[in-house]
Amino acid sequence: MPAVEEDAFTPVWAAGTQLLHQLDLTWDRLVNVEAASYATGITPDRIALRLQGGTPDHERPRFSERLRFLRETRRDARGKKHSLRTIAAMADGSLTYAAVAHLESGRNEPGREVAAALERAFNVPVGWCSLSEGEALAAYVAPLVNQLRAALRAVNTWAQLRARDVEAVSLRGAADPGKMPDLLTAILPTVLPELDQVLPPEADR
């Protein structure tokens, strides 16, 4: 049996798929492929295919492809593409018009400093242009999967409390409401035995 192809996104996809199943959700509810394409430089069709479990593409994009994508999608205040001269000026003034033209055409490949200057100019993370498909998707989707994980913890926490007829929880102090599910999950092992002495779970009644 041939080995299943994997990349950096494969474990993220597997974890996300399992969590989505537990929450009775689908990938299209979690990931907007157009937004993901803008953030990663990967086409919407390709992202949709990977979210369906499609085979990874291990080929790294050429810098020229990423630069053209950034120029097309990160436009100026008037909605027009930045000129090559403007891009040269945006890159800390370290490039000439001709140098940017050669990079965009694929005639030349940039060194690390030049690549980083152009990435900063377009407000993307340093290293963005050299990310593989799997690396780019993993970087974008992993935080969303972590949000799913937190949501599932919250669902399980409230389910355990509701099973003991707890309808509301009030925490004293300056606890961040956004972190309350995680806080409740952390204190449940201490709280539940005490609750069970007074309010056993419905299944035990």
Q: What pLDDT, on the 0 to 100 scale, is given for residue 147?
A: 87
- pLDDT tens-place string over residues 115-126: 999 999 999 999
Are 75 and 54 in a shared domain?
Answer: no
Q: What pLDDT, on the 0 to 100 scale, is given for residue 125?
A: 95
Residue 2 placed within a domain:
no
Rounded distance, CA 24 to CA 71, Å? 39
Count the Cβ atoms, other than its own, within 10 Å of residue 194: 9
Rounded distance, CA 98 to CA 17, Å? 46
Q: Which of 127, 161, 176 is the last residue of a domain?
A: 127
- pLDDT greater at residue 121 or residue 154: 121
Lowest mean pLDDT among 7-11, 110-114, 159-163: 159-163
Are 50 and 77 in a shared domain?
Answer: no
Q: Which of 111, 139, 167 is the last residue of a domain?
A: 139
**Model confidence band, residue 152 (pLDDT cutoffs 50, 70, 90):** confident
Is 181:154 a contact under the CB 8 Å cutoff? yes
Mean pLDDT of the chain: 84
Lowest mean pLDDT among 44-58, 78-92, 93-107, 158-172: 158-172
Residue 93 placed within a domain:
yes
Quick one: average pLDDT of 80-97?
Answer: 91
Are 177 and 198 in a shared domain?
Answer: yes
CATH number assigned to the domain comprising residue 114: 1.10.260
Residue 154 placed within a domain:
yes
- pLDDT greater at residue 155 or residue 32: 32
Structural domain count, the chain: 3
Are 39 and 81 in a shared domain?
Answer: no
pLDDT surpasses 60 at 158: yes
Residue 4 placed within a domain:
no
Is 35:161 a contact under the CB 8 Å cutoff? no
Residue 49 placed within a domain:
yes
Are 54 and 67 in a shared domain?
Answer: no
Residue 3 placed within a domain:
no
Are 35 and 70 in a shared domain?
Answer: no
List all residues 6 or more positions away from 19 whose beta carbon is below 8 Å from its beta carbon: 145, 148, 149, 152
Are 39 and 86 in a shared domain?
Answer: no
Q: Which of 87, 106, 139 is the last residue of a domain?
A: 139
**Model confidence band, residue 87 (pLDDT cutoffs 50, 70, 90):** very high
Are 51 and 77 in a shared domain?
Answer: no
Residue 16 placed within a domain:
yes
**pTM given for the model:** 0.77
Collapse the DSSP code of 39 into the 3-class scheme (helix H, G, I; strand E, B; otherwise coil) and give the result.
Answer: helix
Residue 1 placed within a domain:
no
Are 123 and 154 in a shared domain?
Answer: no
Are 50 and 69 in a shared domain?
Answer: no
Q: Which domain holds residue 121?
A: 63-127
- pLDDT tens-place string over residues 13-33: 999 999 999 888 999 999 999
Q: Which residues of 90-123 are buried (b: 16+ CB within 10 A; e: fewer)?
A: bbeeebeeebbbbbbeeebebeeebbbbbbebbe
List all residues 6 or more positions away from 162 whose beta carbon is below 8 Å from its beta carbon: none
Quick one: average pLDDT of 43-72?
Answer: 95
Are 147 and 108 in a shared domain?
Answer: no
Are 81 and 29 in a shared domain?
Answer: no
